[in-house]
Amino acid sequence: MIRIVTAYPDVLNLYGDYANTAVLARFLRARGEMLELRSFTVGSYTNISSADLVIVGAGTENRMIYALRDLRRLSGELRSYVDKGGRLLLTGNALAIFGRGVDLIEQQGSLEALGILDLRVTVTPGRRYRELLCGSDLVDSPVVGSVNTSLEVESNEQPLFRVEKSSARLTNPVEGARRLNVFATELSGPLFVRNPELMRYFAQTLAARTLEWNLNDPFELRCLEGYDNIVKKLDAQLGRAKVRAV
């Protein structure tokens, strides 16, 4: 039995992040895996320690802070879960919840975060959008996604991705953070929908076996063809990632 927990699907679902759980579950079930899908939200509870994967998506800045304040009640359980090898996938601005703290420029204040990742986030007044094509140690194929963010992230963690092409100049040639089995990225799309091979990596990790694509399944074939088209388009449109001076 593979147990997947989605945190705050009603609050942190800005870019359709719940689709990450949906496509992963579909892929696993099609290969005979038994799944238990659970979720929790503000004021509710589920047993995190029994989960094989916890997924946390993106929200507006206000909703991200709302979830952060609520999730503090489970900080000890989450920290123990991570330290024992529990898997955690954070997309969009969810990584802010798990860092050391969040600095709010407009409100002229700061919030203590869960402290699971050694990073600190500043929420700025403006937003920045970019399309990225990244390299990864998790999969051989490029990882693609968009970042629409008001965050500035200072991280001491190992990066999750290497930015190879970008639609905008960068202050950092790497993206995301990884500690133990915590995978954090600002990329959205949703992540697994736009990156089927990355989704398959997580599926194989959860199933502890090799899982092949079924090219006779129209849905899976469309996913792979859609990914190939996106990569070709971005590869042609985006320039090599250039880091601007700060």
- The full length of the chain comes to 246
Predicted local confidence at residue 171, as pLDDT: 67
Residues 6+ away with beta carbon under 8 Å from 39: 5, 6, 7, 8, 9, 46
Average pLDDT over residues 137-158: 92
Higher pLDDT, 108 or 199: 199
Contact call for residues 177 and 119 (beta carbons, < 8 A) = yes
Beta pairing partners, 12: none
**Helical ranges in 171-217 per DSSP H:** 191-194, 196-207
Mean pLDDT of the chain: 92
DSSP strand pairing (87-91 vs 53-56)? parallel
| Interatomic CA distance for residues 8 and 211, integer angstroms | 29
Check residues 237 and 53 and name the one with the higher pLDDT. 53
* Residue 245 reports pLDDT greater than 50: no
Evaluate if residue 9 carries a pLDDT over 80.
yes
Q: Measured between alpha carbons, how far is residue 116 from residues 44, 72, 141, 156, 182 in Å?
A: 21, 11, 29, 12, 9
Q: What is the pLDDT of residue 188?
A: 86
Residue with tokens 């092949």: 212
Q: Which region holds residue 75: left if phi is over 0, alpha if psi is between -120 and 50, else beta?
A: alpha
Integer Cα distance of 77 and 83 in angstroms: 10
Which of the four pLDDT bands, split at 50, 70 and 90, describes residue 246? very low
Q: What is the pLDDT of residues 170-217, one digit of tens each?
A: 667 899 999 999 999 999 879 999 999 999 999 999 999 999 999 999
Which residue do the tokens 């992963």 mark? 24
Top-level class of domain 2-240: alpha beta
The answer to whether residue 120 scores a pLDDT higher than 70 is: yes
Residue ranges of domains in the chain = 2-240
